[in-house]
């Protein structure tokens, strides 16, 4: 079986604790600066909040994350408001820091983890195909939580030519201003007429290097224009990050499907197994391999529970028969499967996870 290798990534099958995540981004900051200037200030305000069991923080370059766990039985939405108020009551954060995001983490269960790979297929094509598969799976009822991994973020690199800039007497700030004021998607208001109303909107936002090449960065009174491609090279590239995934030694994209508490894990896994078989039969240069199917683990646990229950039934029946009347021993032993069945019935009707 192939092995999916992904540095700096862990997948946990269960996340059953009510938890809130606060995420702060401070470009250019070291982990120590994030700890001293952001994390410590927030943690001071989190102390003593009602309903908070514990909180943990992780500081890294440019960002920090604080996870707050809620005591079972407390209203999680009320605790969320208290956490938001605690963050907002911090007197000041470092200049240049982005707004802190506070959100509730939903309880999720890992259903299936898959690897999309193809011999000789580049990572861009794999990512595009993974996005298509994601959109297709989201249309299926009962599947809502899909995440992709195994590739770094995409960036657009603009490398300017110094000699060209000197020739036209241009500076880096002028190029940046031209990009900022041209690459826009904004509303310019409305024009009301006697019979209709027109919306004015500029749709010139580009997300690809080829489209950015034609942005005008300089124009002379004579009408001569200078485009971005005339002063440098524009190309799409991957971010300098170690996030990569390989399956059997070739690049791959990880597709992870999780289940919420309201979704049926066994039905989701059964559908995904059929989807993988159908996809591999119809596609030649790419294929999907199942890395982890949590329904297999769940079925193994159910089988183990059944075997232990059956063994316990006969052991109780045998031992009690040696010392008591066999009828009494039978009714005591029969209480074992009846207890398990009753517990499962109550959990299912109370909306809690059951066997």
DSSP-derived letter for residue 351 is: T
Strands (E) across 175-263 are located at 185-192, 197-203, 216-219, 225-227, 232-238, 246-247, 250-259
Q: At what angle do helices 294-323 and 265-282 cross, to 10 degrees?
A: 140
CA 174/CA 182 separation, integer angstroms: 12
Distance between CA atoms of 133 and 354, rounded to whole angstroms? 31
Residues 127/245, Cβ–Cβ less than 8 Å: no
Question: How far is residue 289 from each of residues 205, 248, 275, 305, measured CA to CA in Å?
Answer: 37, 10, 11, 29
Query: Could you tell me the two tokens for 260?
Result: 């919420």
Query: Taking the CA of residue 6 as centre, how many other CA atoms within 13 Å lie in the half-sphere pointing to its CB?
Result: 19
Of 255, 21, 289, the closest CA to residue 147 belongs to 255
Residue 72 tokens, joined: 């079972």
β partners of residue 219: 225
Query: What pLDDT is stored for residue 218 in this prediction?
Result: 76
Identify the pLDDT of residue 353.
52
**β pairing state of 52-60 and 63-70:** antiparallel
Q: Which of 9, 34, 56 is nearest to 100 (CA)?
A: 34
* pLDDT value of position 239: 73
Strands 108-117 and 14-15, bridge-based pairing: antiparallel
* Per-residue model confidence (pLDDT) at position 133: 92
pTM over 0.75, yes/no: no
Q: How far apart are CA 355 and CA 175, in angstroms?
A: 62
Measured CA to CA, the distance from residue 286 to residue 126 in angstroms comes to 8
CA distance 328 to 309: 19
Helices and strands per DSSP (H, E), number in the chain: 11, 17
Task: Confirm if 38 and 64 have CB atoms less than 8 A apart.
Answer: yes
> Which structure tokens are listed for 349?
């009707």
Torsion of CA 123, 124, 126, 132, to 10 degrees: 160
**Which residues have a Cβ under 8 Å from the Cβ of 137 and sit 6 or more positions away?**
143, 146, 257, 272, 275
Q: Could you read off the pLDDT tens digit of each residue along the chain, which spans 355 residues? A: 444 444 333 332 333 345 556 667 888 888 898 898 889 999 998 888 888 888 889 888 888 888 888 888 888 888 889 888 988 888 888 888 888 888 887 778 888 999 999 888 888 888 889 999 999 999 998 888 898 988 877 778 888 888 888 887 888 888 888 778 777 767 777 888 777 888 777 777 777 777 778 777 777 777 778 888 888 888 877 777 667 787 888 889 999 999 887 788 888 899 999 999 999 988 778 999 999 888 888 888 888 878 887 888 788 788 878 877 878 888 877 877 787 778 777 766 665 555 5
Instruction: State the Cα–Cα distance between residues 111 and 350, nearest whole angstrom.
Output: 23
């Amino acid at each position: 079986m192939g092995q999916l290798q992904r540095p700096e990534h862990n997948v946990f099958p269960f996340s059953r604790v009510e938890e809130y995540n606060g995420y702060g981004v401070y470009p250019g900051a070291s982990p120590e600066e994030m700890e001293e200037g952001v994390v410590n200030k927030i943690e001071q305000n989190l102390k003593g909040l009602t309903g908070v069991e514990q909180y943990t923080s992780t500081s890294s370059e440019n960002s920090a994350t604080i996870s707050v766990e809620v005591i079972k039985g407390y209203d999680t939405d009320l605790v969320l408001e208290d956490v938001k108020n605690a963050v907002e009551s911090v007197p000041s954060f470092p200049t240049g820091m982005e707004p802190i995001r506070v959100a509730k983490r939903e309880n999720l269960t890992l259903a299936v983890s898959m690897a999309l790979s193809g011999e000789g297929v580049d990572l861009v094509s794999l990512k595009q195909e993974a996005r298509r598969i994601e959109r297709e799976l989201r249309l299926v009822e009962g599947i809502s939580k899909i995440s992709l991994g195994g590739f770094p973020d995409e960036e657009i690199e603009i490398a300017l030519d110094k000699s060209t800039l000197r020739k036209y007497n241009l500076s880096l700030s002028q190029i940046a201003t031209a990009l900022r004021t041209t690459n826009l998607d904004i509303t310019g208001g409305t024009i009301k007429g006697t019979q209709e109303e027109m919306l004015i909107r500029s749709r010139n936002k580009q997300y690809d290097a080829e489209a950015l090449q034609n942005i005008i960065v300089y124009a002379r009174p004579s009408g001569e224009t200078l485009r971005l491609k005339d002063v440098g090279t524009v190309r799409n590239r991957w971010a300098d990050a170690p996030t990569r995934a390989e399956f059997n030694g070739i690049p791959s994209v990880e597709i992870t499907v999780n289940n919420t508490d309201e979704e049926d894990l066994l039905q989701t896994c059964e559908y995904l197994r059929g989807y993988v078989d159908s996809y591999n039969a119809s596609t030649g240069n790419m294929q999907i391999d199942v890395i982890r199917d949590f329904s297999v683990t769940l079925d193994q646990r159910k089988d183990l529970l059944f075997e232990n229950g059956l063994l316990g039934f006969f052991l109780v029946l045998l031992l009690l028969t040696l010392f008591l009347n066999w009828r009494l021993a039978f009714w005591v032993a029969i209480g074992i499967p009846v207890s398990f069945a009753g517990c499962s019935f109550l959990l299912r009707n109370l909306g809690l996870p059951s066997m």
